[in-house]
Structure 1
């Protein structure tokens, strides 16, 4: 009986291009980095980010519901990425993970139409303001 060795480069299923991404969680100390396949969907990347964040014991505690979060790419604009888009289709490797804002209270006016009172936020500003502020920081020379 002969024993055969399997080589690592002989895989049964084709693997697409893989690359390292960096996801900054708003309010956390540093980015989360992990390798993804370019055909990975955005919602799967959010799920992996939340699991890695929890596994590392980071603060603040975020939770695990993928539907409560949005993934942004600050380079591409201010629109959140769609959950069904492929992460490799953007050509970037740095992303930002934010919690979705929740509607505060719904008030019914005299005419019977519901009106949202406002949005609740735990932080003092949006991720866009934080990002712009971090770009404007100047390091003084000694």
Structure 2
């Protein structure tokens, strides 16, 4: 909600506008749109995720801003602060990357995969046992 209010205030003020290009790893090409130079990095990420979803691009990313970071390959490998103005960086090409998962999240995901796999294996065994072929001589 705060980002939305700030967007409206900046649009009214005017100022310089920038054409930004955001590349998503694994996607076909960059997303390009115009932003005001005083707009926050978080608002630009939000706009990029919405545009990405609206265009139906793959891979599917989701819309949670906390799962992503915006980096500039030209300015350095560090992620940009979400509360920084996009124009303060001095570049227009960015890369949107998923944050690395925490160890606990990876372990939980692995446990769920094992449970699903074990559930499938007993079902496969049951179906196989029902379809026993009795051979006659």
Question: Structure 2 length as normaliser, TM-score?
Answer: 0.67
How many pairs are equivalent? 98
User: 1:102-113 to 2 correspondence within 5 Å?
Assistant: 102-105=101-104
Residue 91 (structure 1) shift: 1.0
Query: RMSD value over aligned CA atoms?
Result: 2.1
Q: Return 5+ residue gaps in structure 2 as ranges.
A: 1-11, 111-137
Residue 105 (structure 1) shift: 3.1
Higher relative contact order (CA 8 A, sep 6+): 2
Equivalent residue number for residue 51 of structure 1: 50
- The separation in 1 between residues aligned to 2:26 and 2:48, in whole angstroms, is 14
- The separation in 2 between residues aligned to 1:20 and 1:78, in whole angstroms, is 21
Structure 1 stretches of at least 4 aligned residues deviating more than 2 Å after TM superposition: none
Residue 16 (structure 1) shift: 1.1
User: 1:34-73 to 2 correspondence within 5 Å?
Assistant: 34-73=33-72
- The separation in 2 between residues aligned to 1:104 and 1:29, in whole angstroms, is 30
Question: Structure 1 length as normaliser, TM-score?
Answer: 0.65
- The separation in 2 between residues aligned to 1:58 and 1:79, in whole angstroms, is 26
Structure having the larger proportion of residues in helix: 2
Equivalent residue number for residue 33 of structure 1: 32
Higher Rg: 2
What secondary structure sits across from 2:88 in the alignment?
A: helix
- The separation in 1 between residues aligned to 2:85 and 2:79, in whole angstroms, is 13
